[in-house]
Amino acid sequence: MVIRSALLYLSQLEGLKNFATRFPPFKKLTTRFVAGETIDEAVAAIRRINEAGCSASFDHLNESVTSPAETTAEVSEYLHILEQIELAKIDSNVSIKLSQFGLEIDPELAYKNARIVVAEAARRGNFVRVDMEGSLVTQVTLDIFRRLRAEFDLNNVGIVLQSYLYRTYEDAQALLQIPARIRICKGAYNEPPEVAYPEKKDVDENYLRVMKLLLASGTYHGIATHDPRIIEATVQFARQEGIGKEAFEFQMLYGVRRDLQLRLARDGYKVRVYVPYGKHWYPYFMRRLAERPANIWFVIKNMLKG
Ligand SMILES: Cc1cc2nc3c(=O)[nH]c(=O)nc-3n(C[C@H](O)[C@H](O)[C@H](O)COP(=O)(O)OP(=O)(O)OC[C@H]3O[C@@H](n4cnc5c(N)ncnc54)[C@H](O)[C@@H]3O)c2cc1C
């Protein structure tokens, strides 16, 4: 828990970010979790994922935009991704973060930018997942999602909820009324005990409650986790309730538990791999290290190897 908090703290340090992104050995290590710096590298990675029987979700990494001009560039990148998905004939949707569309500059700007991308996805028959970030922006992210969902179809825009937040079960109940497609995950940010369960066992228990609520709802949702116990509980619950394998999807991160991704796909489950790419990989990479302390040994070992 201490290591997790320390790494999540480091993930937000600009100075370290600038150092890490210029330090070649560190950069090389990111290839475990990041598909590359360019869209072509991400397309190639997604092709391999598709060949293995899984679908994908593009994520252009850039959480710290500081000017409206940068947010416009992010919108262009996503329009380009949506075009590339069609041209390359790959099976993928896209994931966006409202912070990269200007949430911290002005929520209205983030809404307008996200709207452009969702409209383009709708035009092309594709889907945009709005990722969830830190708890300070949970409510505004949900508000913007609701505005988008009011205008666009169930199958054009979806949202993410995090089981570490106390509020999540109720948020899920409310969103299911619209209805909305939800990705449930545990949550990757440093949150205080006022808003989030400090104990992992409570986070996991809440995850299972929300997973059951989602699966029983009849809407197509994403069960995003690498936790074998939660995956097994999902498989069991679906079987017990007579919910088909096509009624939901498992989602996992690029480079994490590839064996499990392939096994589930071979067993006939739908599996979607979240594929991040881009130059601004530092905070994303640090969150992945925080999730599993053993990953730090992987970093140290590889650095010593040169
Ligand atoms: C598709 C997808 C989308 C996500 N979107 C969001 C989002 O929008 N907002 C958000 O806050 N979080 C998001 N997350 C991250 C999520 O919240 C968790 O931080 C992350 O998935 C780790 O939790 P876990 O469910 O795998 O369980 P954990 O209990 O953390 O891990 C279970 C097991 O999975 C393996 N594992 C987990 N993480 C790693 C890792 N980094 N490296 C190696 N092995 C690992 C280990 O074997 C570990 O024992 C997303 C995760 C996925 C899979």
Model pLDDT, residue 58? 96
Lining residues, ligand 1, CB within 6 Å: 131-132, 160, 162, 185-189, 224-227, 251-253, 256-257, 274, 288, 291-292, 295
What per-residue confidence (pLDDT) applies to 221? 98
Which pLDDT value is given to residue 25? 65
Question: Is 167 among the catalytic positions?
Answer: no
pLDDT for the residue numbered 154:
98
The owner of tokens 């299972």 is 208
> pLDDT (tens digit, 0 to 9) for every residue of the chain, 306 residues total?
777 787 677 777 666 666 666 666 666 677 889 999 899 999 999 999 999 999 999 999 998 799 999 999 999 999 999 999 999 999 999 999 999 999 999 999 999 999 999 999 999 999 999 999 999 999 999 999 999 999 999 999 999 999 999 999 999 999 999 999 999 999 999 999 999 999 999 999 999 999 999 999 999 999 999 999 999 999 999 999 999 999 999 999 999 999 999 999 999 999 999 999 998 888 888 888 887 777 777 666 665 655
Among residues 59, 115, 129, 131, the one annotated as catalytic is 131
Closest residue (by CA) to atom 49 of ligand 1? 227
- Determine whether 40 is an active site residue: no
Mutate to test the pocket of ligand 1, among 131, 164, 185, 285 (most ligand atoms within 8 A of CB): 185
Is residue 268 exposed (0-12), middle (13-18) or buried (19+ Cβ within 10 Å)?
exposed
| The pLDDT value given to residue 8 | 72
Longest dimension (CA), the chain: 54
> In this structure, what DSSP letter does residue 123 have?
H
Which residue's CA is the closest to the ligand 1 atom numbered 41? 288
Q: What is the pLDDT of residue 92?
A: 98
What is the position in ligand 1's atom list of the atom closest to the CA of 222?
Answer: 1
Which residue of 160, 186, 252, 260 sits with most ligand 1 atoms within 8 Å of its CB, as the best mutation to test the pocket? Answer: 186
Q: Can you give the pLDDT at residue 28?
A: 67
pLDDT in the model for residue 14: 65
Helices (H), the chain: 2-10, 14-22, 24-29, 39-51, 68-87, 107-123, 138-151, 168-176, 200-216, 228-241, 258-266, 282-291, 294-305
Closest CA to 281 of 22, 23, 32, 34: 34
Contact 20, 282 (CB under 8 A): yes
